[in-house]
Amino acid sequence: MINKEVAVLAAVEAQMKSLKGHLGFYYKNLATGYEHSVGGDEEYLAASVIKLPLYMHVLNKCAAGELSLDDRIVTEESDKVPSCGALNMFTGAVETDIRTLCRLMICISDNTATNRLIRLCGLEDVEKGFLAMGLGKTKIRRFLFDSASSAKGIQNTICPKELGVMLEKLYRGQFINEAVSKEVINTLLEQQINHKLGGKICDAVAIAHKTGEDDNLSNDVGIVYAERPFIACFAGHGTDVYLWEDLIRRAAYDLYKVNS
């Protein structure tokens, strides 16, 4: 008899092949260690999923004593960029601590907070930090809304499997230490954009995750706390977002059911 988990994963892979675009998926059952990948080790356009490893890089710098989450940072009017977030709604400069910038960046995907943290660390420092975390294909090459760099083909990228490995470290309390790992997980649990991995699961179980969206692009990576918890990392661009997100919802739900 075919294992139900294997059957669901085979169905997900078949459905992915029926859609257009560059689509990737990485799965790991955290109870059994079983893995499945469909282009999971390839590069994909990052959108806001890149904010998760940036958050972890900032925490590494805090652990090294180079920064503190309590440090006060001023976000100037010139730092503000459009779309997701809250900082661009404030009049004039805004002073917050680094912890607040991180929470805004993850929970409501604040783009201004993200750029402020990139500027605080520096692109070169971020690159070195990502490599030190084992991220070879997951890269921040430019600020968000840097249209000039984007026009030159300079893009931020993610690798589903690389992020899956980072998520497992968080789950097992192995990122810096158990307390820091738990803080990251708790922040991911407060993610406010929940229509993909959580779109059909709804409130049945907790999901610690980070999403990303742009034109013809949709990503979601996270931990689903089913009876047998699992990691699911989806990335796709150049695709029909409506159909791709519907696949993500159904796949996450079916995997939740076979792991419950």
The pLDDT, as a whole number, for residue 120 is 98
Average pLDDT over residues 215-234: 98
Q: What percent of the chain has pLDDT over 70?
A: 99
pTM for the whole structure: 0.97
Average pLDDT over residues 34-62: 99
The pLDDT, as a whole number, for residue 55 is 99
The pLDDT, as a whole number, for residue 248 is 99
Contact 114, 54 (CB under 8 A): yes
Q: What percent of the chain has pLDDT over 90?
A: 98
Average pLDDT over residues 168-174: 99
Average pLDDT over residues 182-199: 98
* pLDDT exceeds cutoff 70 at 179: yes
User: Hey, how many other C-beta atoms are within 10 angstroms of the C-beta on 152?
Assistant: 10
All structural domains of the chain: 4-258 (3.40.710.10)
* pLDDT exceeds cutoff 60 at 56: yes
Write down the mean pLDDT value for the chain. 97
Average pLDDT over residues 43-49: 98
The pLDDT, as a whole number, for residue 1 is 40
User: Hey, how many other C-beta atoms are within 10 angstroms of the C-beta on 53?
Assistant: 23
The pLDDT, as a whole number, for residue 84 is 87
The pLDDT, as a whole number, for residue 2 is 59
Residue 13 to residues 33, 49, 209, Cα–Cα distance (Å): 19, 22, 21
Bridge partners, residue 37, by sequence:
26
The H or E element containing residue 217 is: strand 217-224
Average pLDDT over residues 85-93: 95
Average pLDDT over residues 172-201: 98
Contact 102, 69 (CB under 8 A): yes
pLDDT in tens, 240-255: 999 999 999 999 999 9
User: Hey, how many other C-beta atoms are within 10 angstroms of the C-beta on 177?
Assistant: 11
* pLDDT exceeds cutoff 90 at 109: yes
Average pLDDT over residues 210-239: 98
pLDDT in tens, 69-80: 999 999 999 999
| Band of pLDDT at residue 4, cut at 50, 70 and 90 | very high
